[in-house]
């Protein structure tokens, strides 16, 4: 399949690489052009612009937020103006429900197809093609793009004919992840102030009642004081509460870290 891929950040680069490994013809575009170099070395074509990436059957976007998606889709020589009639835009970005609805309407008016397909999984999971894909859109469009989802993920969940439903699922999932991070941060700060080793505490949790991957992954990051955990809370978790995907705010420091242990 002839694919354009726009957005080669930590998630997008891995996804595009796995599409290449699945023998798809992939054109890649990123505002920072050097991010395409490694993929070009693997066989991708470097698109000169977002418009240039829209010459095939499908264009996939994996961008940071609503503003970035709006710019690429609705801007001058953007996806709406450039994608052929009958071709499909697959949006894997974490965006608001409102923007997803707007995208669906605009693509329909232009005679194009639109699928929302956000993913669950961190960059290391994207790199090995083991993401979980949450897809929503017209059944025939999803069937046609199923090989792409198989290339980037270990399982695809089709949740609705309405694209915005996939974005709602993704946002609600991010909210739950952020809640886990917040509760783990509080608990680990509390026991840490009491002299308990955070790694030993995490092993107790994940070996008993809290064995889910989200506790193991983010618990490990918290125990090791990795900054990426805080970045998730600030940009893709609490700022994108399901009821207000464009809210602002920075997650507070755990209360237990500010109070003396009893």
pLDDT tens digits along 97-154? 999 999 999 999 999 999 999 999 999 999 999 999 999 999 999 999 999 999 999 9
Model pTM above 0.85: yes
Do the beta carbons of residue 61 and residue 93 sit within 8 Å?
yes
Q: If pLDDT is split at 50, 70 and 90, which confidence band does 208 have? A: very high
Distance between CA atoms of 108 and 222, rounded to whole angstroms? 44
Q: Please tell me the predicted confidence (pLDDT) of residue 225.
A: 80
List active site positions: 170
Span of 13-17, 140-144, 189-193 with lowest mean pLDDT: 189-193
- Residue matched to tokens 């080669």: 8
The dihedrals phi and psi of 157, each to the nearest 5 degrees, come to -105, 115
Please compute the mean of the pLDDT values over residues 64-88 and round it to a whole number: 97
Least confidently predicted of 28-37, 127-136, 249-258:
249-258
**Residue 240 — very low, low, confident or very high, per pLDDT cuts 50/70/90?**
very low
Mean predicted confidence (pLDDT) in 18-31: 98
Q: Say whether pLDDT at 196 is over 50.
A: yes
d(CA 116, CA 94): 10
pLDDT tier for residue 256 given thresholds of 50, 70 and 90: low
- Here the tokens at position 15 are 């996804």
What sign does the dihedral 3-7-250-99 (CA atoms) show? negative
Place of tokens 């050097």: 34
pLDDT band at 262 (very low <50, low <70, confident <90, very high): very low
For the chain, give the percent of residues with pLDDT over 90: 84
Residue 1 near residue 57, CB atoms below 8 Å:
yes
Strand partners, 36: none
Residue 89 phi/psi, 5-degree rounding, is -100, 120
Higher-pLDDT residue of 241, 10: 10
236 has a pLDDT exceeding 80: no
Task: For residue 73, give the nearest of 44, 116, 35, 37 by alpha carbon.
Answer: 116
The whole-angstrom separation of Cα 174 and Cα 116 is: 16
């Amino acid at each position: 399949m002839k694919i354009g891929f726009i957005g080669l950040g930590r998630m997008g680069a891995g996804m595009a690489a796995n599409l290449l490994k699945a023998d798809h013809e992939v054109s890649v575009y990123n505002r920072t052009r050097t991010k395409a170099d490694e993929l070009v070395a693997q066989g991708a074509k470097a698109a000169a612009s977002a418009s240039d990436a829209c010459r095939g059957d499908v264009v996939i976007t994996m961008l940071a937020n609503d503003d970035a998606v709006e710019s690429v889709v609705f801007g001058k020589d953007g996806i709406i103006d450039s994608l052929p009639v009958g071709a499909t835009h697959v949006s894997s970005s974490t965006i608001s429900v409102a923007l997803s609805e707007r995208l669906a309407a605009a693509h329909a008016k232009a005679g194009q197809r639109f699928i929302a397909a956000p993913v669950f999984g961190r960059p290391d999971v994207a790199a090995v093609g083991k993401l979980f894909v949450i897809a929503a859109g017209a059944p025939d469009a999803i069937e046609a793009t199923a090989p792409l989802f198989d290339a980037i993920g270990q399982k695809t969940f089709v949740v609705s004919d309405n694209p915005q439903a996939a974005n709602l699922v993704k946002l609600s999932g991010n909210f739950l992840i952020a809640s886990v991070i917040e509760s783990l941060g509080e608990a680990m700060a509390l026991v840490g102030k009491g002299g308990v080793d955070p790694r030993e505490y995490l092993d107790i949790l994940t070996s008993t009642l809290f064995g889910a991957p989200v506790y193991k992954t983010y618990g490990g990051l918290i125990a090791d004081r990795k900054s990426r955990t805080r970045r998730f809370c600030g940009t893709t978790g609490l700022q994108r509460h399901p009821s207000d995907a464009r809210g602002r705010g920075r997650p507070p420091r755990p209360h237990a870290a500010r109070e003396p242990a009893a």
